[in-house]
Amino acid sequence: MRLSIFVVLALLFHQGCRPVRKVTAVAIQTDTIVRTAVVDVPAVDSAKIVAETVARIAGNRIVYRTFAAKIKVAYKDSKDKNLDFNAFIRMQKDTVIWASIIAALGVEAFRVMVTPDSVMIMDKLEKTIRYTTISELQAITKLPFDFGTLQELLIGNPIYMDGEMKSYRDDGSLLSMSMTGSFFKHLLTFSKPRMELVQSDLDDIDSLRKRRATLSYEDYQPAGKWTFANTRRLALSEKERVDLLLEFRQVEFDQPQNYPFSIPKNYKLK
């Protein structure tokens, strides 16, 4: 079950040279999220700088109806367990995430179907089916994610940007901003001038938990009308460390998709 959870999370699911000075807070709104942004002085320019930056980031977010891709996954944990497999992902925005996990010799090992309120994991090797919920996965993994977060992870849009902005730094080629939310301290780094997400560093607010995640985005290539990060590196750690390398291929947006998930009668409930 541990591997299945990581499959769901991972597949579904720098800084400049100038020091950051004391800054002026400005409340702005983009879409439905109100963010308190903090930028370098002079204060008279703060609102304009923050508004322009947030607008550029929002304008660079991938907007889609459906998504599909093949992903080559390399998994390694702190106990030197290594796994390599392929996954086929299909997604309809805000409705369903479907995944087929292909093991050695091209054999389908798992099929996963995630909706906003349910998760179904079919183990085709053991001929079992497991039903769970996003809430249960949150409790098991102790991570504050939801269906929307899983979608954004797959697409490559920034996640956890609903906190209070603490600093803002622009060194000409990279733009970095740090914010503090309910669960994480978050440092995001974007490349200029296209404002492509380069790295996302998440540190737990709770110092006793010591959860940390680093998400790196590389190899941006055209995909339809968007530029898409074909290579992702995820380093997740708390008591143990897990490293994931995701290489996306055959990326498609807004093409008709189907999501087959018929359960054979001889499968047992796990």
What's the pLDDT score for residue 30? 34
Paired residues of 200 in beta bridges: 188, 215
Integer-rounded Cα Rg, in Å, for the chain is 20
Task: Look up the pTM and report it.
Answer: 0.80
Q: What is the pLDDT of residue 35?
A: 37
Tokens of 46: 């703060």
The bridge status of strand 184-191 relative to strand 174-180 is: antiparallel
pLDDT tens-place values along the chain, 270 residues long: 333 344 444 433 322 233 333 333 333 333 333 333 334 434 445 667 767 777 888 888 999 999 999 999 999 888 888 889 999 999 999 999 999 999 888 999 999 999 998 999 999 999 999 998 888 877 766 667 789 988 999 999 998 887 777 888 888 899 998 888 888 899 999 998 889 999 999 998 887 777 888 999 999 999 989 999 999 999 988 778 889 999 999 999 999 999 999 999 999 998
Yes or no: say if 110 and 101 are a contact pair by the CB < 8 Å rule: yes
Q: Are 48 and 37 in contact (CB under 8 A)?
A: no
CATH of domain 2-13+60-256: 2.50.20.10
Task: From residue 251, give the alpha-carbon distance in Å to each of 34, 37, 168, 231.
Answer: 32, 34, 33, 12
* Residue 46: predicted pLDDT: 60
Domain ranges in the chain are: 2-13+60-256
